[in-house]
Structure 1
Amino acid sequence: MPDTATAVRVPKRVAAVILNSLKGGVVPRIGLPYITVGREVEIRALLTDLDLIADGGASFRFLVGRYGAGKSFLLQTIRTHAMGEDFVVADADLSPERRLQGGQGQGLATYRELIRNLSTKTRPEGGALGLVLDRWVARIREAAGDGDVEAQARASVANLEELVHGFDFVRMLMMYVRADTEGDDEAKSCVMRWLRGEYRTKTEARTDLGCSTIITDDDWYDYVKLFATFLTNAGYRGLLVLIDELVNLYKIPNAITRQYNYEKILTMYNDTLQGKAHHLGIIMGGTPTSIEDRRRGVFSYEALRSRLTQGRFAREDMRDMLAPIIRLHPLTYEELLVLIEKLAQIHAGYFGYENAVTDEDLAAFLQIEFGRVGADSHLTPREVIRDFIELLDIAYQNPDQSLSALLRDEGAIAGAGGPADGNGAATGDAPFAEFTI
């Protein structure tokens, strides 16, 4: 067991986010490098896509795993790495109010969430639209020197006018440059509002901007493609779009509405693979059921199923990591051991005590976790992490009880939320509840 003096120091603010998020069953948006273990093959495959995006190509991937298997964790890991490599990242979780297509603006709601969460290396928490626009304006001013800034700006985005809705998009960008030159913050704010898709009527947009076009539920994805191309003009390497919780499309009760959403996925998939999109990467996360169910899942849409079905040569021990679907395998016992060791160090550093957790304690904890009935098929990293942080919290709050003594009492874990049921889970606690990790 490494001594805490030689362990990596985690800033207290970051440690608090890591511990609180993981105990609550969600993925921390900062500090992931401190706790990332395993997934080297998957990460390497997704990082290969970033090189393709930077070169002007496009990619599309599905990340498939059970609840708690680490989909959202891997998405956030890729998000952090992409921002570090000077990509812009936009992420959104689907929900009943946010879909890819809908009769009450659910598709537009997803677009708004993506733009609201637009993140860069210097603005990793989201809300980077203004920063991106200002960086672009600064670049064109530098390129123009003493010349015509507006002419330089128009030349910079001339390639966008060839794309669908490119004329209106360029018009808004030019209006932003003009407003910046004149110091008109109100006009800049209106342009940003338009780009965020927040104008509900054409009349409202015409009053504020003199433009009768607005971003709608039907065409929002065209503007994502425009953003991806535009971002390279602002000095970024491309746009990575992360969409999680595909299960919310699987749950749509109306079959026709579901098909419309899967048709939108097909459009995105075809665009990226056929070269109709540039500097754009899309990764969607979902459960095996939400993808492979022939009645309601993505595979219920035949055009997608025929494109995504695994070929005959791939095997469990020989996966094709260049395929559009990446299936997450469970973390190994050794990887979980490394993970909880890191968490013990972070916990001790945050609360300021000497880390006395031994290798034997870690092994005993995992033996208890894997000793549950059904652990082989149902135990997920989320549950292991949550139980371990709970154990550390209890040990910290009860210094008269050693960790070894708590581990010897197996019921201290199995019954943390009440009497254990037949599956080793606390009564009243849904052991495989739908969280977002």
Structure 2
Amino acid sequence: MKIPKRIASAVINSLKGGVVPRTGLPYITVGRESEIDALLHDVDIIADGGASFRFIVGKYGSGKSFLLQTIRSHVMDRNFVVVDADLSPERRLQGTKGQGLSTYKELMKNMSTKTRPDGGALTLILDRWISGVQTETAAETGLPVDSTEFQKAVEKNIFEVINSLSEMVHGFDFAKLLTIYYRASVTGNDEEKAKVVQWFRGEFITKSEAKAQLGINIIITDDDWYEYIKLFAMFLKKAGYSGMLVLVDELVNIYKIPNSITRQYNYEKILTMYNDTLQGKAKYIGIIMGGTPQCIEDTRRGVYSYEALRSRLAEGRFGREGLKDMLAPVIHLSPLTYEEMLVLTEKLSDIHAQLFEYQQRITQEDMISFIKLEFSRIGSDSHITPREVIRDFIELLDIVYQNPQINISELISSGTVMTAASSDVSTSEEEFAEFEI
């Protein structure tokens, strides 16, 4: 497995820091086949004009964010536009002090495509749309591109797209802004184009400012930002993309809101999104939210405290361990198996060796010993997560690389690499009886 150094560095450094790398995920993806298959099935529905809404539920470090980023990479390869944001005390779904608008701004900032995977793709998308219409018009009409007739034909095709959006909520103003952007592109007015992009990003503070700059007497607010997300999804389809995927992580920050009324308003916004996608009011859009079991299932403060959501999302009577319904709106992440953890450590050791250009010294037997040690911690059956195991293993790789004289098996068996593994609890032979390679 050959991996470019810059990607190898990003993968190792991100994982060691406990965060999910934005690039290189295919090199380290292990397990989660059923979850990925289920979410990609949703993607096919979205591309066909449908919509979907899912919750990814797992404890801290269990792989929620990793799964979201993996799906992000998959759908961009399928010509989707992805917007993503982590919620925080300053970014919520609904607020009275700009918290909802802050989430919208973060989503727009992180708008990504296959050719612009790191965000900031809005201008690229708008320019590509205009260029695409011009190319299609030239192929259809055969007119010279510098002729008046060609320009009229392009405008006609542009306005067909714009008019189809004007029937949606806020669609008229959205369409007007697209018109302004197109005309600014034709005349080479980059300043006017920048103003339209600024408006789409939610950066105008007052209506009077938007009126003075663009002649539009409306701005994006805390209350209506989601309507513009739906508008973007429809526009992106008409601009040549397959659809739009919205990823919202760290739902726990709504759970942490101290004011119960404010929490309920945020859960009401989730209900609106959920109903829109399942009732066909939104098209070409998928929404995936990530959260911990507590922030979803707590009936006092979590999502389930909002009865309308709890009744829609709670598991039925037939779901149980080993029989998960991957078509349900809530996907619970199961722990990675010992075998999957071994495959992951093999991948990481290979990437680490390539990054630092050394001959790999850790054997498969060493990796098995390491995994046994990790899972021998007190409470590991319910509390250990892939994040902790990965972080410990990269630390082990770093130490072995920097100290070539060290005896690896003795280092692992001593448990000195992992401070949390200093307990005297050992793993029984029966527990690992099925852990055969």
TM-score (norm 1): 0.93
Per-residue CA distance 1:263-282 (angstroms, 9 max, x = gap): 00000000000000000000
Per-residue CA distance 1:205-230 (angstroms, 9 max, x = gap): 11110111111110000000000000
Q: What secondary structure is seen at the aligned counterpart in 1 of 2:76?
A: helix
Inter-partner Cα distance in structure 2 for 1:297 and 1:422: 37
Inter-partner Cα distance in structure 1 for 2:121 and 2:17: 27
Q: What secondary structure is seen at the aligned counterpart in 1 of 2:418?
A: helix
Q: What secondary structure is seen at the aligned counterpart in 2 of 1:284?
A: strand
1:297 matched to 2:290: no
1:381 matched to 2:386: yes
Inter-partner Cα distance in structure 1 for 2:323 and 2:84: 30
Question: Match for residue 265 of structure 1?
Answer: 270
8, 17, 39: which one pairs with 1:15?
Answer: 8
171, 174, 177: which one pairs with 1:166?
Answer: 171
Distance 1:177 1:377, change over 3 A: same
Contact 1:143 1:152 in 2 (8 A): no
Contact 1:150 1:178 in 2 (8 A): no
Amino acid at match of 1:49: D
Contact 1:94 1:245 in 2 (8 A): yes
Q: Name stretches of at least 5 consecutive residues in structure 2 with no aligned partner.
A: 139-149, 427-437
| Structure 1 segment 1-400 matched on structure 2, within 5 A | 8-145=1-138, 146-148=150-152, 149-400=154-405
Offset at 1:408? 2.5
Contact 1:238 1:279 in 2 (8 A): yes
Contact 1:56 1:279 in 2 (8 A): yes
Inter-partner Cα distance in structure 2 for 1:332 and 1:122: 35
Q: What secondary structure is seen at the aligned counterpart in 2 of 1:218?
A: coil
Q: What secondary structure is seen at the aligned counterpart in 2 of 1:204?
A: helix
Q: What secondary structure is seen at the aligned counterpart in 1 of 2:191?
A: helix
Q: Name stretches of at least 5 consecutive residues in structure 1 with no aligned partner.
A: 1-7, 425-437
Paired residue total: 414
Per-residue CA distance 1:117-137 (angstroms, 9 max, x = gap): 000000000000011001110
Offset at 1:413? 2.1
Inter-partner Cα distance in structure 1 for 2:4 and 2:74: 19
- Identify which range, 69-78 or 150-159, moves more after superposition: 150-159
Q: What secondary structure is seen at the aligned counterpart in 2 of 1:269?
A: helix
Inter-partner Cα distance in structure 1 for 2:274 and 2:395: 42
Q: What secondary structure is seen at the aligned counterpart in 2 of 1:157?
A: helix
Contact 2:248 2:288 in 1 (8 A): yes
Inter-partner Cα distance in structure 2 for 1:342 and 1:415: 24
Contact 2:392 2:417 in 1 (8 A): no
Offset at 1:415? 6.3
Inter-partner Cα distance in structure 1 for 2:399 and 2:321: 39
Contact 1:374 1:423 in 2 (8 A): no
Inter-partner Cα distance in structure 2 for 1:422 and 1:283: 41
Inter-partner Cα distance in structure 1 for 2:408 and 2:115: 41
Offset at 1:151? 2.3
TM-score (norm 2): 0.93
Distance 1:422 1:197, change over 3 A: farther
Amino acid at match of 1:210: G
Offset at 1:318? 1.2
Inter-partner Cα distance in structure 2 for 1:248 and 1:170: 34
Contact 1:157 1:233 in 2 (8 A): no
Inter-partner Cα distance in structure 1 for 2:365 and 2:135: 61
- Identify which range, 399-408 or 306-315, moves more after superposition: 399-408
- Identify which range, 274-283 or 407-416, moves more after superposition: 407-416
Identity percentage over the alignment? 64
Inter-partner Cα distance in structure 1 for 2:63 and 2:424: 26
Inter-partner Cα distance in structure 2 for 1:362 and 1:264: 46
Question: Match for residue 430 of structure 1?
Answer: none
Q: What secondary structure is seen at the aligned counterpart in 1 of 2:166?
A: helix
Q: What secondary structure is seen at the aligned counterpart in 2 of 1:60?
A: strand
